């Protein structure tokens, strides 16, 4: 039998958070020039060069959840010292 919960213990909630990240993926494409190769990749052509390779570069701080649509959460974050402007940096969703 587990010990009883005291008034000093609290139950924490587990949250699932989606975060925007910038990754690098290698592609292979046949083209006549570097410019044509880039155009083809941007148009959706080409094959992933290595399914195992994906390098995380950094968190994407230039996008996130709109603070105006999540006013209460944005205010709580500000009180915790998180810099929140028009959006909550790098966070896509919280459940």
Domain-located, residue 30: yes
Task: Tokens for 90, please give them.
Answer: 């790098």
Question: What is the C-alpha to C-alpha distance for residues 42 and 56, in angstroms, rounded to an integer?
Answer: 20
Domain-located, residue 88: yes
Domain-located, residue 6: no
- Which residues constitute the domain of residue 42? 17-94
Domain-located, residue 66: yes
- Residue that wins the pLDDT comparison between 53 and 85: 85
Q: What percent of the chain has pLDDT over 90?
A: 77
> For 48-64, what is the mean pLDDT?
88
Domain-located, residue 55: yes
Residue 3 has pLDDT above 80, yes or no: no
Handedness of CA 73, 79, 82, 84 (dihedral sign): positive
pLDDT for res 66: 97
Q: Please state the domain count of the chain.
A: 1
Find out whether 64 and 89 touch, Cβ atoms under 8 Å. yes
62 phi, psi to nearest 5 deg: -90, 5
């Amino acid at each position: 039998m587990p010990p009883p919960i005291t008034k000093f213990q609290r139950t924490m909630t587990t949250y699932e958070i989606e975060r925007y990240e910038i990754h690098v993926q290698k592609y292979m494409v046949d083209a006549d020039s570097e410019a044509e190769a880039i155009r083809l990749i941007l148009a959706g052509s080409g094959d992933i060069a290595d399914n195992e390779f994906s390098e995380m570069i950094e968190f994407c701080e230039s996008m996130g959840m709109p603070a105006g649509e999540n006013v209460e959460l944005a205010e709580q974050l500000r009180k915790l010292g998180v810099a929140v402007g028009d959006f909550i940096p790098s966070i896509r969703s919280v459940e």
